[in-house]
Chain A
Amino acid sequence: MAAMRVNALARDDMQWRITYNHERCTLCGHCLSSCPFRAIEAGVEKRRKVISDHLTPKPKVLFQTVPVIRQVLDHHEACRGCGCCEKVCPNEAIAPRLNLETRLPIKHRGTTADGYKRGGRSNLNPMGNTLDKITIGRISQMTDPSLDAQRHTFDMLAPLGRVLPPESLPLRISETGSLGITESLPPLNWMYPIIIGDMSIGALSTRMWEALAIATAYLNEEVGLPVRMCTGEGGIPGRLLRSHYVRYMILQIASGHFGWNRIVNSMPDMQDDPAGILIKIGQGAKPGDGGMLQAKKVARHIQEIRGVPKADLLSPPNHQGLYSIEESVQKMFLSFNSAFKFRVPVAIKVAASTTSVSVYNNLLRDPYNIVGGFFLDGIQGGTGAAQDISLDHTGHPIVSKLRDCYLAAVHQGKQGQIPLWAGGGMAQGWNLAADAFKMISLGANGVFTGKLMLQLAGCVGLDNGKCNACNTGLCPAGICSQNPVLVKRLDIDKVAENIVNYFIATDQELKKLMAPIGNSSLPVGRSDALISTDRAVADKLTISYAC
């Protein structure tokens, strides 16, 4: 009798179990070649079969060795449930199924003495999706007529840059009775109120990043939607940097400073200014981890763009040289403002936190007037090499924190002076327009979204742990991988087309939300347009309760 190894991984420990129907399998091998995780393998099984090939029953036992496909039992090569095998199987012979009895997370920790890395997304959403508990309850009619969403002209631009209070504008009345600007002012750019969030070239495959850049340029130049894209940390290809397309890009500088050298070196050759600079202090998902690009994803072109060897690239969750707001304002903002000769707005991105309001208040009182935007990132965003512990148990929901920051500004009479942008969990309910509209009504100038772009590209991951292999370099859709074979799965043009189409639809939908409340410009802070059927949500956000 074989010894029973209690602690060995068993099929029932796996998060995903492969169901395999031998009868339907033609052994074509497509599933094997499609699985990036090597979570299935070809094997053989000995089968005992009783048959009778005589005219009268004459049973005999036949032993047969048959080839089969079976699941690999291994911590590192565990099935992620991406479903590629199912997608390619011509006969519906194989599919992953979620195993609710999984013990893989504790087995992993017990075996490897390391946190269970899940890569992608938060599973915990104990509050439910707040934005889906809010509806737009104020519908104009008769005395304040609603607008025609199809025919009316809407004015939908949001500012990025330091907005001075009106009494501080250096204006002088000329002899003709017109106002003229007498001194230079902090740079201010106007853009579409939805930004493609910061996802680095490196974290994304080059093809995915290129698709985002193509979609952005197309939206601007062909569709007429001034959508901006944040590069994420990790630089930007030199050719793009030196092209006029850089005007649609918000360049990010984060704590790892990856790629910044190349940007600085390219400055003399740049023919246009970027749309903005975003200093990433922290991100909303996995706030204690920072960015983590594992060595296996640091392909040759990434090494070139970032100027690094093939090694794990860790962006610390904080900027190592800065330990105070005062220092941040003086050093970081001033240096990045001056790098672009004070022509490009410089904004900051922080993780939503119970302390975000203090930071925002402090920046609002900044005497230098050089902070051009406050990007708040909530718990629900982000991909990366995060561990379970960070994804599930750290971070702050975005909706109430955005509201807190807006109301803190209102309290001081400084609303709008440092534009508020919020993200992290936009379009969890699959509708970006609705979420953007609600966030804007609660006080945001605009929102940013990243994960949704990946989903538009064909990401198969889901919040219940499906796939979530963004960190492994084995993204089955070729979105978050640098593996040439996997990356080729991604159709750049199709991805760009999906993103462009989604934005066009979102733009129409935004108008369909602005029309009924009778607004032709963005309803920033118009929380009176919102109601919630959840008493606690209504109270916390100071909007009307309705039932």
Chain B
Amino acid sequence: MCRIGAIKSRDYIHPSWALRLMRSQQKGHDNSGFAMVMQDLGGVFENYKKYPVLSMACTEEGMKTAEDILYSMGFSRIGQWNPEIRPADNLNIEPMPIYVFQFFHYPKSMRNASQAEKEQLLVDARITLRRALEANGEGYVYSFWPDTLTLKEIGDPTDIGTYFNLWEESKDFTARIITAQCRQNTNYDIVRYAAHPFFLQGYTVLANGENTFYEKNKHFQKSLHKGYIGFESDSQCFLYTLHYIHRELGWPLKYYKHTVTPLPFEEIERHPERDVLLRIRSSLAHLEINGPNTLIGVLPDGQMFTCCDSKKLRPVVVGRNEDMVVISSEVNGINEILPDRDWKQDIYPHARETVIINNELEVNQWQQCV
């Protein structure tokens, strides 16, 4: 099983917080990897929030392939940040030769384009890059999006932290939202793309779970959006459904929960939104998720939420102080980084609940049933 965690902070924080949050839960995973997505970036990225950041791990040939493609599309590089790699023989890690965190100017032709057009271009560019690199095994493209940075690595999370010098706090490399996973990938090979968090157009999702409706989810999602690709992990379906409900259909967040874990028919009959919920249940039957899972998601506007399967089969807890809200699989993770919080305020979301943290760090609990 995976362990997942997320931090949303008033101030910029360094990824070492996320590492500590996850490392304390090491008995719940197999130490086979660590992955994180940082959003609302600080440090060297703070002044470049409008510009798309490419997060990629690749070979030298891969680097060249990617540069050629991006330049041919009209992108021009503004700058980059390189992690301070500290290789050592005794580290359990399977690193790629190059880690790319570069920010780009949009093509000149797109400077006056609408936000939607730019966002479409970024998806197209990422998919093009991914396909090109995938063809010859030259690398992995995780995200290409403003104010977002993704790192995914195979190996022991402690050693990964050492390799990238993430244990040492630095003001150069920070963010206000960090989501992270330490994994135990049970269903598939240890594939980099299969590591959470998954990211698409500002939406981030990570899950501790099994999606027994994976096949029907996948069959349905494949035809919904060109960005719904990969499917290396059954958990990617959770992201695509969130993106589809919230962005493509433009429905309020609560209908995500109504889609993935619909109320039983008996309860729908008593619900004030009966007619709408029955229609959702029929039209989106193939996006339902059966199986034990806990989800953590981040919306493009920075709001964060968590919810569970309809039977609450996987754990999750929300802890907070005035400056930070932390969501974690296990409470010991929160104890590690917020030892002085009022633990009586911790929230253990139940099966029909969505906990939403807004940008003022207010925590709202929304109930699916009446």
Q: How far is the CA of A171 from the CA of B280 in the complex (A)?
A: 11
On chain B, the residues within 8 Å of A185 by CB distance are 279
B212: contacting residue among A163, A519, A524, CB under 8 A: A519
CB of B1, distance to nearest CB on chain A (Å): 6
Instruction: Name which residue of chain A comes closest to B213, CB basis.
Output: A526
> Within 8 Å of chain A (Cβ to Cβ): is B255?
yes
Instruction: Name which residue of chain A comes closest to B265, CB basis.
Output: A157
- Asked whether A525 lies within 8 Å of B216 as measured between CB atoms, the reply is yes
Instruction: Name which residue of chain B comes closest to A413, CB basis.
Output: B223
Task: Scan residues 199-252 of chain B and give those whose CB is less than 8 A from a CB of chain A.
Answer: 210, 212-216, 219-220, 222-224, 248-252
CB of A163, distance to nearest CB on chain B (Å): 5
> Within 8 Å of chain B (Cβ to Cβ): is A368?
no
Q: How far is the CA of A233 from the CA of B277 in the complex (A)?
A: 34
On chain B, the residues within 8 Å of A173 by CB distance are 250-252
Please choose the segment from B48-56, B82-90, B154-162, B287-295 that sits at the chain A interface, where 4 or more of its residues have CB less than 8 A away.
B287-295
- Asked whether B210 lies within 8 Å of A144 as measured between CB atoms, the reply is yes
CB of B229, distance to nearest CB on chain A (Å): 15
Count of interface residues, chain A, beta-carbon cutoff 8 Å: 41
Instruction: Name which residue of chain B comes closest to A406, CB basis.
Output: B219
Q: How far is the CA of A179 from the CA of B274 in the complex (A)?
A: 11
CB of B170, distance to nearest CB on chain A (Å): 37
* B264-301 to A contact mask, C-beta < 8 Å, 1/0: 11000000010110111011111010111000000000
Q: How far is the CA of A185 from the CA of B280 in the complex (A)?
A: 12
CB of A66, distance to nearest CB on chain B (Å): 69
- Asked whether B290 lies within 8 Å of A153 as measured between CB atoms, the reply is no
B283: contacting residue among A143, A144, A163, A527, CB under 8 A: A163
Task: Scan residues 502-543 of chain A and give those whose CB is less than 8 A from a CB of chain B.
Answer: 517-521, 523-528
On chain B, the residues within 8 Å of A517 by CB distance are 212
- Asked whether B285 lies within 8 Å of A144 as measured between CB atoms, the reply is no
- Asked whether A526 lies within 8 Å of B216 as measured between CB atoms, the reply is yes
Q: If the complex has contacts A180-B276, A185-B279, A525-B219, are A416 and B212 also in contact, measured as CB distance less than 8 A?
A: no
Give the secondary structure class of A's interface. loop
On chain A, the residues within 8 Å of B286 by CB distance are 415-416, 524-525
> Within 8 Å of chain B (Cβ to Cβ): is A169?
yes
Give chain B's interface residue range (CB within 8 Å of chain A).
35 or more
Q: How far is the CA of A525 from the CA of B222 in the complex (A)?
A: 15
On chain B, the residues within 8 Å of A416 by CB distance are 282-283, 285-286
A145: contacting residue among B186, B279, B280, B292, CB under 8 A: B292
A166: contacting residue among B278, B284, B292, CB under 8 A: B284
Task: Scan residues 138-179 of chain A and give those whose CB is less than 8 A from a CB of chain B.
Answer: 140, 143-145, 153, 155, 157, 159, 161, 163-167, 169, 171, 173, 177-179
- Asked whether A143 lies within 8 Å of B1 as measured between CB atoms, the reply is yes
Q: How far is the CA of A519 from the CA of B255 in the complex (A)?
A: 21
Q: How far is the CA of A517 from the CA of B291 in the complex (A)?
A: 9
Q: How far is the CA of A461 from the CA of B218 in the complex (A)?
A: 45
Instruction: Name which residue of chain B comes closest to A159, CB basis.
Output: B282
* B123-135 to A contact mask, C-beta < 8 Å, 1/0: 0000000000000
- Asked whether B249 lies within 8 Å of A167 as measured between CB atoms, the reply is yes
CB of B231, distance to nearest CB on chain A (Å): 13
- Asked whether B273 lies within 8 Å of A179 as measured between CB atoms, the reply is yes
> Within 8 Å of chain B (Cβ to Cβ): is A188?
yes
Instruction: Name which residue of chain B comes closest to A176, CB basis.
Output: B252
- Asked whether B212 lies within 8 Å of A518 as measured between CB atoms, the reply is yes
Q: How far is the CA of A477 from the CA of B306 in the complex (A)?
A: 61
Number of interchain pairs (Cβ within 8 Å): 103
- Asked whether B265 lies within 8 Å of A155 as measured between CB atoms, the reply is yes
> Within 8 Å of chain B (Cβ to Cβ): is A100?
no
CB of B331, distance to nearest CB on chain A (Å): 21
- Asked whether B251 lies within 8 Å of A171 as measured between CB atoms, the reply is yes
On chain B, the residues within 8 Å of A177 by CB distance are 252, 254
Q: How far is the CA of A164 from the CA of B285 in the complex (A)?
A: 11
On chain A, the residues within 8 Å of B262 by CB distance are 521
Give the secondary structure class of B's interface. loop
> Within 8 Å of chain A (Cβ to Cβ): is B369?
no
- Asked whether A179 lies within 8 Å of B265 as measured between CB atoms, the reply is no
Q: How far is the CA of A155 from the CA of B262 in the complex (A)?
A: 10
* B295-336 to A contact mask, C-beta < 8 Å, 1/0: 000000000000000110100000000000000000000000
Residue with the highest number of chain A CB atoms closer than 10 Å, among B282, B310, B311: B282
> Within 8 Å of chain B (Cβ to Cβ): is A3?
no
Q: If the complex has contacts A167-B249, A525-B216, are A153 and B264 also in contact, measured as CB distance less than 8 A?
A: yes
On chain A, the residues within 8 Å of B283 by CB distance are 163-166, 169, 416
On chain A, the residues within 8 Å of B265 by CB distance are 155, 157, 190
- Asked whether B222 lies within 8 Å of A413 as measured between CB atoms, the reply is yes
> Within 8 Å of chain B (Cβ to Cβ): is A412?
yes
- Asked whether A178 lies within 8 Å of B273 as measured between CB atoms, the reply is yes
Q: How far is the CA of A185 from the CA of B283 in the complex (A)?
A: 12
- Asked whether A521 lies within 8 Å of B290 as measured between CB atoms, the reply is yes
On chain B, the residues within 8 Å of A51 by CB distance are none
On chain A, the residues within 8 Å of B255 by CB distance are 179
- Asked whether B290 lies within 8 Å of A518 as measured between CB atoms, the reply is yes
- Asked whether A410 lies within 8 Å of B219 as measured between CB atoms, the reply is yes
- Asked whether B291 lies within 8 Å of A144 as measured between CB atoms, the reply is yes
Q: How far is the CA of A260 from the CA of B280 in the complex (A)?
A: 34
On chain A, the residues within 8 Å of B212 by CB distance are 140, 144, 517-519, 526
Q: How far is the CA of A192 from the CA of B108 in the complex (A)?
A: 59
Instruction: Name which residue of chain B comes closest to A180, CB basis.
Output: B276
CB of A496, distance to nearest CB on chain B (Å): 26
CB of A68, distance to nearest CB on chain B (Å): 64
On chain B, the residues within 8 Å of A525 by CB distance are 215-216, 219, 286
Q: How far is the CA of A14 from the CA of B220 in the complex (A)?
A: 56
Q: How far is the CA of A190 from the CA of B275 in the complex (A)?
A: 12
* A126-142 to B contact mask, C-beta < 8 Å, 1/0: 00000000000000100
On chain B, the residues within 8 Å of A415 by CB distance are 219-220, 286
On chain A, the residues within 8 Å of B1 by CB distance are 143
> Within 8 Å of chain B (Cβ to Cβ): is A50?
no
Q: How far is the CA of A526 from the CA of B282 in the complex (A)?
A: 16
- Asked whether A166 lies within 8 Å of B290 as measured between CB atoms, the reply is no
Q: How far is the CA of A180 from the CA of B291 in the complex (A)?
A: 29
Q: How far is the CA of A517 from the CA of B276 in the complex (A)?
A: 29
Q: How far is the CA of A521 from the CA of B289 in the complex (A)?
A: 10
- Asked whether A163 lies within 8 Å of B282 as measured between CB atoms, the reply is yes
- Asked whether A144 lies within 8 Å of B223 as measured between CB atoms, the reply is no
> Within 8 Å of chain B (Cβ to Cβ): is A181?
yes
- Asked whether A178 lies within 8 Å of B252 as measured between CB atoms, the reply is yes
- Asked whether A181 lies within 8 Å of B214 as measured between CB atoms, the reply is no
- Asked whether B220 lies within 8 Å of A518 as measured between CB atoms, the reply is no
- Asked whether B279 lies within 8 Å of A181 as measured between CB atoms, the reply is yes
On chain A, the residues within 8 Å of B264 by CB distance are 153, 155
CB of B277, distance to nearest CB on chain A (Å): 9
B276: contacting residue among A140, A181, A519, CB under 8 A: A181
On chain B, the residues within 8 Å of A520 by CB distance are 290, 310-311
Task: Scan residues 163-212 of chain B and give those whose CB is less than 8 A from a CB of chain A.
Answer: 186, 210, 212
Q: If the complex has contacts A171-B251, A524-B285, A526-B213, are A181 and B290 also in contact, measured as CB distance less than 8 A?
A: no
B215: contacting residue among A143, A161, A165, A528, CB under 8 A: A528
On chain A, the residues within 8 Å of B290 by CB distance are 518-521, 523
On chain A, the residues within 8 Å of B248 by CB distance are 167
Q: How far is the CA of A167 from the CA of B224 in the complex (A)?
A: 10
- Asked whether B275 lies within 8 Å of A518 as measured between CB atoms, the reply is no
* B96-124 to A contact mask, C-beta < 8 Å, 1/0: 00000000000000000000000000000
- Asked whether B252 lies within 8 Å of A190 as measured between CB atoms, the reply is no
Q: How far is the CA of A518 from the CA of B314 in the complex (A)?
A: 14
On chain A, the residues within 8 Å of B214 by CB distance are 528
The 7 closest A-B pairs by CB, nearest first: A413-B223, A144-B210, A525-B216, A528-B215, A166-B283, A163-B282, A519-B290
Known contacts A166-B249, A413-B220, A527-B215; 7 additional CB pairs below 8 A are A145-B313, A155-B265, A167-B249, A177-B254, A413-B222, A519-B213, A523-B290
Binding site for A on B (CB under 8 A): 1, 186, 210, 212-216, 219-220, 222-224, 248-252, 254-255, 262, 264-265, 273, 275-276, 278-280, 282-286, 288, 290-292, 310-311, 313
7 intermolecular pairs with C-beta atoms under 8 Å apart: A153-B264, A163-B283, A166-B283, A177-B252, A413-B222, A521-B290, A525-B286
